[in-house]
A and B are shown apart, each in its own frame.
Chain A
Amino acid sequence: MIGFLAFAVAAWVFVVGLYGMATSRNLIHLILCLSVTQSSTYVLILEVGYRLGATAPVFSDVLPGVRAVDPVVDALTLTDIVVGATATALLLAFALRVHKKRQTLDPEALRPMQG
């Protein structure tokens, strides 16, 4: 029923995040758009490992051998989420530092060097 649309959502989120970054007028806005772009990779990775009607790969309540979704994609996404969170926080720290010096977060006004 959902089929292709599930993957299309991931594609949309990736591109919309990129659009937000490129048109951003504020570094904090840009960082959050970066997070949105990253979230599309979580969505896509989890989707490719999903199996209709299957349980989570935790065999405490169900017996091993029951149809389960892919545990690997869960592990990959977990790693990805940590990476995303820490990189986001680091970039925020950069933005904050820049603002202290220049009192602005507008990317147009913040050019390290030109030409």
Chain B
Amino acid sequence: MSSRARTAMILVSGAVMLVLILFAVAGLPPFGHYPGPYGDVLNTVAPHERQIPNIVTAVNFDYRGVDTLGEEYILFAAVAGIALVLRQDRKRTKDEPLAPSRTLHTTARTDAVSAFAALAIAVTIAFGAYLGIHASQTPGGGFQGGTILSGVGVLIFFGLGYRAFAKLTRKEPLETVEAIGAGAYAVIGLATLVATGAFLKNALPLGGEGQLFSTGTIGVINLCVLVEVCAGFLLLYLDFAHQTRVEEPEPSQE
């Protein structure tokens, strides 16, 4: 198709789709008037049934915990796929010492940059850990905490360079940790299935409301997700960071 034909086609069909979607959303209840009942029922029952103030966390890790299990494995599969696709050249350099690398910065890093990076890393770790652990109390949780913690990798990369990043985060142990994080979630589900007859049904005692680890399975799953997300995103960053090293382009097969 010529690019002009394609543009014409997408303009027409895009316009039609816009009208269709507008036509459809016009049938929704007015903005700001969510009719329920799903969320309202959960807002009512979850605080005392699950002893948890953050209902979003309760939905993510309990009421709709299977969605989150699937989501964790999406991350897991994607990270495996990225490693598969980008590892080609990694194999070659596996046993060689890391070659001097030019990365995003061609200029030498100053001490000021490194110091700033160190500070930022400390703040990020504190913030990420706080978010990750306080899933039941405040907004945030394993996912948010994990992504922000893994941001440390990005900071190390920018502040100290690829070599430091690759040295501080070894790929193989990380892969194992990631697999354990993902697998533990599935295993918790299977264990609760054996214990209670329902997959992911809470089988742990609940503490008093407002305590940090009082939420039974939610707390444990939150931890698994924190580990899996943090390790998964670190691996992802590592694979992409590796690409910034200078290499000869591969010859085309043609």
Contacts and interface: CB of A to CB of B under 8 A. Distances in A.
B10 A18 contact: yes
B97 interface: no
Interface string A1-42: 011101110111011001100110000000000000000000
B252 interface: yes
B43 A68 contact: yes
Given A23-B6, A70-B34, A15 B55 contact: no
Given A57-B55, A70-B38, A82 B25 contact: no
A100 B250 contact: yes
Interface in B166-181: none
Contacts, number: 174
B143 A103 contact: no
B54 interface: yes
Given A56-B139, A64-B47, A69 B30 contact: no
A49 B44 CA distance: 16
B106 interface: no
B206 to A, nearest CB: 16
B59 to A, nearest CB: 4
Interface in A61-84: 64-65, 68-76, 78-79, 82-83
B56 A59 contact: no
Main secondary structure of the interface of B (DSSP, over half): helix
B54 A79 contact: no
Contacts of A89: 78, 82, 236, 240
B117 interface: no
Interface residues of B, number: 66
B243 A96 contact: yes
B43 A64 contact: yes
Contacts of B21: 10-11, 14-15
Nearest to A7: B25
Interface size class of A (residues with CB under 8 A): 35 or more
Contacts of A59: 43, 47, 53-55
B78 A69 contact: no
Nearest to B250: A100
Contacts of A2: 31-32
Interface in B46-96: 46-48, 53-56, 58-60, 64, 67-68, 70-71, 74-75, 78-79, 81-82, 85-86, 88
B85 A82 contact: no
Interface stretch (B11-19, B107-115, B125-133, B197-205): B11-19
Given A52-B32, A70-B34, A75-B56, 14 more contacts: A4-B26, A6-B31, A7-B25, A23-B6, A49-B39, A51-B33, A57-B39, A57-B55, A60-B210, A75-B64, A79-B68, A83-B74, A92-B240, A94-B85
19 contacts: A2-B32, A3-B30, A4-B26, A6-B31, A11-B22, A18-B10, A22-B9, A23-B3, A51-B33, A60-B210, A71-B39, A71-B55, A74-B59, A75-B68, A79-B60, A87-B78, A90-B81, A96-B243, A100-B249
Interface of A: 2-4, 6-8, 10-12, 14-15, 18-19, 22-23, 44, 47-53, 56-60, 64-65, 68-76, 78-79, 82-83, 86-87, 89-90, 92-94, 96-97, 100-103, 108
